[in-house]
Amino acid sequence: MKIKFLNGDGEMSELIRSKDWSKTAIGSPETWPQSLQISLNILLNSKFPMFLWWGPQLICFYNDAYRPSLGINGKHPFILGMKAEEAWVEVWDIIKPLIDQVMEQAESVWHEDMLVPIYRNGAIEDVYWTFSYSPVFDDAEKVAGVLVTCTETTEKVIIKKQLEENERKLRLSILQAPLAIGIFRGPDHVTEIANSKALELWGRKEKDVLNKPILDVMPELADQGIKQLLDDVYETGNRFAAVELPVQILHGDQIETLYVNFSYEPLYDTQGKIDGIMTVGMDVTQQVMAHKKVEKNEEKLNIVITARELGVFEINLLTDEIESSGRLHEIFGYTKEEKLSHAALIGHLHPEDAQTRKTAFSEAYKSGVLYYESRIILRDKSLRWIEVKGKVFYQNNGEPHLIIGTLSDITDVKKHQQILADNERKFRLLADSMPQHIWTADPGGNLNYFNKSVFDYSGLTFEQINTDGWMQIVHPDDREGNAKTWHDSVVSGSDFLFEHRFRRFDGQYRWQLSRAVPQKDKEGNIQMWVGTSTDIHDIKELEQQKDYFISMASHELKTPVTSIKGYVQILQSVYKDKEDDFLKNTLKIIDKQVLVLTKLVTELLDLSRIKAGSLELSIEKFDLAELADEIIDEIKLINPGHTIDFSKECVMEVSADRQRISQVMINFLNNAIKYSPHSVCIRVRMVKDDREAKVIVQDYGIGISKADQQKIFERFYRAEGISEKTFPGFGIGLFIAAEIISRHGGNIGVESEPGKGSSFYFSLPLAAP
Amino acid sequence: MMENAKNHILVIEDNEDILMMMEMMLRNQQYRVSKKADGNGVELLIKEIQPDIILMDMLLSGVDGTIVCKQIKENPATRHIPIIMVSALTGGRGKSEEAGADFFLAKPFEMEDLLATAAAAFGLAQETGG
């Protein structure tokens, strides 16, 4: 049978032709209606996959193009001519409503990438379809069948799903990445994604940056060229990458400089057009800081090496090869270019120092540190000192294999040390040859050096003094005062001056005068104390003997004076009424000279009392002005050649030793008379304020120079007149006067001009009313 | 000079010249003067001659004048006799007071001071000695 619409040479045409349709619901092909025949003709000739359900039973037809979708070991070929319900059991639930919709409402149905699993290849497989169900009308224009035009999109859908999965994974990996990653979209660089690292780097929160132009969110980047970089990448597609770029970013409320490694990668859309930028970055601030520190240290090291003019070397201990710097060559007297082996260097070592070097190296292998000083002899035979320092590096097996170190020329230092040592020796010798004890102390007052004399005198060693302290040689009675005075000096920085007794090696204590002065630096800080102790024992004894002698002598002198004085006065009283003027004048002169002698003896005694600290005062209340009046009257009697100008004006009550104060006044007046040989007038004034009374005795005599005014109250000072004419007296009157006034808590002084006269004054506190 | 008037003075001084000088000064005032040139046996002498006042030097050969003075002042029989102590020693006044002397005169002294002190001592003797 030759049926025209089944003329095709395809597999399905052949199958339809060969199938016995007479047993089927639609009968033999010759009986098939025109509409079915036309539909099948189109179907079988189409290269596009098509399927047809025909008639109320929905008999299945399909073409060669549809055939692959049924797979191997599936429905093909037995569903041809089968009822749809039987042929598509596994998907009937899905397709039945669609078929019904077409059959009943004559409407086409369209679905894209729809999952319609089918049995093929021996199993139910997930198959995706893009298809249309369209009605096929019969000759009576009723819907008689459903034409399925379809294409299997399983592969496309799977690829799409994979793509989506990939993107999901990418997003996830971006978000979880340990690098800062962000994606900006569009020409305004709107943030699409920013992972937590990116947010951390940017110092922003996700809600603040997402879907906003990044430069709006981070305005601080605008003037750092970032916008230009982003725009360039967006426009040109050229990737940008930066390493350790400093970027200022607002973190919290302050701008921080961060060092960042980052890149901007262009992102393309499906058309190959740039639609975004991915940034991948990393905060390397800490690493940069660490680098910088290392660089700085290296720089410092170089500065040190250069500044100290250090030669640098590296010795391979296994091969004995040495690498050395130009400076090291210089130190050894070579040019930088000359080749220098380790052996050659060792060859320059002073023979006496060879052992030093050897010992230093064997020590270094143990300790890891090399250090030694030695002499080297250069090619020109000159001698230099070097200092070698190094560090040993070890192999894994513990064997030393490398020494890296520095070498410096310390010749000048050594010379300086030598000079210092020479000086030190010289001064030590000098100090040791002194009979005085010489010692030094640190700024805290701890004694740290004693000359030989101290050890010779005390019989102690340095160790003994150092262990038990120097105070052990000081007399127990003097220790407290000694310690206090020394402490006061150390604290105040003022000179130390003290008399104390030191125990000699034989146990005898001898008086010493110790003096120490602080040595200060330019800023005035005390660097050390230098002290001396001088044996004044013999001088002190002599002084005591002298004081004793003065005391005894004055006492012994008094006896004849008493005798002379007494007999003269007896004679005067016996011859009082006689006419013998010569006798009377002579007796008067003797009496006057005995008075002078008495005064001298009294002064000597006072002096020894002052020295012994036994000048006694017997205090009483009296009127100073009245006393002055009395004394002036007496003096006037004895010295009729001088006028004393004084008028008692008011009462000046003081509490004092009347006898002693009159002694001072008499001294002032006698001096005024004595040193005014060519002037007759003496003026006495008295003034008082609410605190003290002041007596001023003014003369118009020879006066006293400024320099002498300082010394006039010292012991045994005396004025000298023109042509070396001396004035009688021991010169101790003012010394005693000063002592008396000082003991009363008053002041004594002088104002004078040579040739014009002097004003002596003393003041006493007024008595309490 | 009244018959009963006190006028007997014992002068103890080991310097003969001064002893004689003081005797002359005092005799010139009509005082009766007994002399002694050392400090030994002073108490016995006092008992014997019964002076009204005593003038003595502090430094006597043989014995310290202050001890003699103390002994006189500690003895109820002699303690009423006023004593004038004379001395050239530093601090003599203090020692003299310590020893119980009634008056002190520093050497060298003015004749009028000696006589004034003696008069004062006789006055004191008059009051206390009865």
> According to the CATH classification, is domain A616-765 in 3.30.565.10?
yes
Question: What is the predicted pLDDT for the residue at A24?
Answer: 80
Nearest Cα of chain B lies from the Cα of A635 at a distance, in angstroms, of 17
Residues of A (254-313) whose Cβ lies below 8 Å from B: none
Q: Does B115 touch chain A (CB under 8 A)?
A: no
Give the C-alpha separation, B129 to A212, whole Å. Answer: 135
Tell me the ipTM for this assembly. Answer: 0.88
Residues on chain A touching B109 (C-beta within 8 angstroms): 562, 565-566
CB atoms within 10 A of CB A659: 11
Is B90 in contact with A605 (Cβ distance < 8 A)?
yes
Give the strand pairing for A400-409 and A311-316: antiparallel
Question: What is the predicted pLDDT for the residue at A4?
Answer: 67
Q: Which CATH architecture has domain A177-289?
A: 2-Layer Sandwich (3.30)
Q: The tokens of B39 are what?
A: 């400090």
Q: Does B76 touch chain A (CB under 8 A)?
A: no
User: Does B2 map to a domain?
Assistant: no
Question: A4-153 with A177-289: one CATH topology?
Answer: yes
Question: What is the predicted pLDDT for the residue at A599?
Answer: 80
If we measure between CA atoms, which residue out of A689, A695, A386, A568 comes closest to residue B17? A568
The distance of Cα A641 from the centroid of its chain, to the nearest Å, equals 84
Residue-wise pLDDT tens digits, A136-189: 988 888 898 999 888 888 888 888 888 888 888 888 888 887 889 999 999 999
Give the strand pairing for A190-194 and A123-125: unpaired
Nearest Cα of chain A lies from the Cα of B64 at a distance, in angstroms, of 16
The CATH number given to A4-153 is 3.30.450.20
Question: What is the predicted pLDDT for the residue at A1?
Answer: 43
Burial of B75 (0-12, 13-18, 19+ CB in 10 A): middle
Please provide the average confidence, as pLDDT, over all residues in chain A. 87
Is A566 in contact with B22 (Cβ distance < 8 A)?
yes
**Nearest chain B residue to A556, by CA:** B88
For A243-247, A448-452, A562-566, A576-580, which range has the lowest pLDDT when averaged over its residues?
Answer: A576-580
CB atoms within 10 A of CB A463: 8
Residue-wise pLDDT tens digits, A314-345: 999 889 889 888 889 999 999 988 888 888 88
Contact A330, A336 (CB under 8 A): yes
Confidence band of A722 (pLDDT split at 50, 70, 90)? very low
Question: What is the predicted pLDDT for the residue at B130?
Answer: 46
Give the C-alpha separation, B8 to B6, whole Å. Answer: 6
Residues on chain A touching B88 (C-beta within 8 angstroms): 555, 558-559, 562
Confidence band of B1 (pLDDT split at 50, 70, 90)? very low
Is B18 in contact with A609 (Cβ distance < 8 A)?
no
CB atoms within 10 A of CB A123: 11
Q: Does A604 touch chain B (CB under 8 A)?
A: no
Is A573 in contact with B111 (Cβ distance < 8 A)?
yes
Question: What is the predicted pLDDT for the residue at A473?
Answer: 93
Backbone torsions φ then ψ of B64, nearest 5 degrees: -70, 125
| A564-A569-A572 Cα angle (round to 5) | 125
If we measure between CA atoms, which residue out of A528, A526, A591 comes closest to residue A561? A591
Question: What is the predicted pLDDT for the residue at A550?
Answer: 74
Nearest Cα of chain A lies from the Cα of B25 at a distance, in angstroms, of 7
Confidence band of A725 (pLDDT split at 50, 70, 90)? very low
DSSP string, A615-629: -----EEEEHHHHHH
Please provide the average confidence, as pLDDT, over all residues in chain B. 88
Confidence band of A353 (pLDDT split at 50, 70, 90)? very high
Residues on chain B touching A561 (C-beta within 8 angstroms): 107-108
Contacts of B25 (CB under 8 A, 6+ apart): A566, A569, A570, B111, B114, B115
Residues on chain B touching A558 (C-beta within 8 angstroms): 88, 107-108
Is B25 in contact with A565 (Cβ distance < 8 A)?
no
Is A563 in contact with B94 (Cβ distance < 8 A)?
no
Looking up residue B24, the CATH number of its domain turns out to be 3.40.50.2300
**pLDDT > 70 fraction of chain B, expressed in percent and rounded:** 94
If we measure between CA atoms, which residue out of A650, A660, A651, A652 comes closest to residue A619? A660
Helix, strand, coil % over all residues of chain B, rounded to 5: 45, 20, 35
For A69-78, A125-134, A314-323, A385-394, which range has the lowest pLDDT when averaged over its residues?
Answer: A69-78
Contact A115, A128 (CB under 8 A): yes
Domain A309-410 -> CATH class: alpha beta
Nearest Cα of chain A lies from the Cα of B66 at a distance, in angstroms, of 17
Residue-wise pLDDT tens digits, A28-77: 888 888 888 888 888 888 888 899 999 888 999 998 888 888 877 778 88
Q: Does B30 touch chain A (CB under 8 A)?
A: no
For residues A253-277, b (16+ Cβ closer than 10 Å) or e, as one string?
eeeeebbbbbbbebbeeeeeebebb
Residues on chain B touching A565 (C-beta within 8 angstroms): 108-110
| A732-A734-A735 Cα angle (round to 5) | 60
Q: Does B61 touch chain A (CB under 8 A)?
A: no
Is A558 in contact with B107 (Cβ distance < 8 A)?
yes
Residues of B (31-50) whose Cβ lies below 8 Å from A: none
Q: Does A598 touch chain B (CB under 8 A)?
A: yes
Out of 3.90.1150.10, 3.30.230.10, 3.40.50.2300, 3.30.450.20, the CATH code matching A434-535 is 3.30.450.20
Q: Nearest CB to B21: which of A563, A573, A594?
A: A563
Please give the residue range of the domain that contains residue B62.
8-129
Residues of B (7-26) whose Cβ lies below 8 Å from A: 15, 17-18, 21-22, 24-25
What mean pLDDT do residues A515-539 have?
A: 92
Confidence band of A555 (pLDDT split at 50, 70, 90)? confident
Is B108 in contact with A565 (Cβ distance < 8 A)?
yes
Mutate to test the interface with A, among B93, B107, B110, B113 (most CBs of A within 10 A): B107
DSSP, collapsed to helix, strand or coil, labels residue A313 as strand
Residue-wise pLDDT tens digits, A610-653: 777 777 787 889 999 999 998 998 888 878 888 899 888 888 89
Q: Nearest CB to A566: which of B25, B88, B94?
A: B25
Number of domains in chain B: 1
Nearest Cα of chain B lies from the Cα of A647 at a distance, in angstroms, of 30
Give the C-alpha separation, A404 to A322, whole Å. Answer: 10
Confidence band of A395 (pLDDT split at 50, 70, 90)? confident
Confidence band of B3 (pLDDT split at 50, 70, 90)? very low
Q: The tokens of A562 are what?
A: 């008493």
Using DSSP, how many helices (H) and how many strands (E) does chain A show? 23, 29
Question: What is the predicted pLDDT for the residue at B90?
Answer: 66
**pLDDT > 70 fraction of chain A, expressed in percent and rounded:** 97
pTM above 0.90, yes or no: no
Mutate to test the interface with B, among A548, A569, A659 (most CBs of B within 10 A): A569
Question: What is the predicted pLDDT for the residue at A762?
Answer: 94
The answer to whether residue A233 scores a pLDDT higher than 90 is yes
The distance of Cα B87 from the centroid of its chain, to the nearest Å, equals 12
Residue type at position B75: N
**Nearest chain B residue to A597, by CA:** B108
Is B107 in contact with A559 (Cβ distance < 8 A)?
yes
| A680-A757-A750 Cα angle (round to 5) | 125
Nearest Cα of chain A lies from the Cα of B19 at a distance, in angstroms, of 9
Q: Does A616 touch chain B (CB under 8 A)?
A: yes
Contact A692, A746 (CB under 8 A): yes
For A18-27, A397-406, A663-672, which range has the lowest pLDDT when averaged over its residues?
Answer: A18-27
Contact A728, A597 (CB under 8 A): no
Residues of A (513-572) whose Cβ lies below 8 Å from B: 551, 555, 558-559, 561-563, 565-567, 569-570
CA dist A684 to A88, A629, A696, A741, Å?
A: 157, 10, 6, 18
Is A614 in contact with B91 (Cβ distance < 8 A)?
yes
Query: How many interchain CB pairs under 8 A, A with B?
Result: 55
Residue-wise pLDDT tens digits, A562-598: 999 899 999 988 888 888 888 888 888 888 888 888 8
Is B18 in contact with A562 (Cβ distance < 8 A)?
yes
Residues on chain A touching B18 (C-beta within 8 angstroms): 559, 562-563, 566
Whether a cis peptide bond, with omega within 30° of 0, leads into A77 is: yes
Is B90 in contact with A563 (Cβ distance < 8 A)?
no
Question: What is the predicted pLDDT for the residue at A718?
Answer: 58
For A408-417, A673-682, A715-724, which range has the lowest pLDDT when averaged over its residues?
Answer: A715-724
Q: Which residues pair with A239 in a beta bridge?
A: none
Is A559 in contact with B88 (Cβ distance < 8 A)?
yes
Is B107 in contact with A609 (Cβ distance < 8 A)?
no
Question: What is the predicted pLDDT for the residue at A295?
Answer: 85
Give the strand pairing for A321-324 and A369-377: unpaired
Question: What is the predicted pLDDT for the residue at A728?
Answer: 53
Mutate to test the interface with A, among B11, B13, B16, B21 (most CBs of A within 10 A): B21
Give the C-alpha separation, B126 to A269, whole Å. Answer: 152
What is the residue extent of each domain of chain A?
A: 4-153, 177-289, 309-410, 434-535, 541-608, 616-765
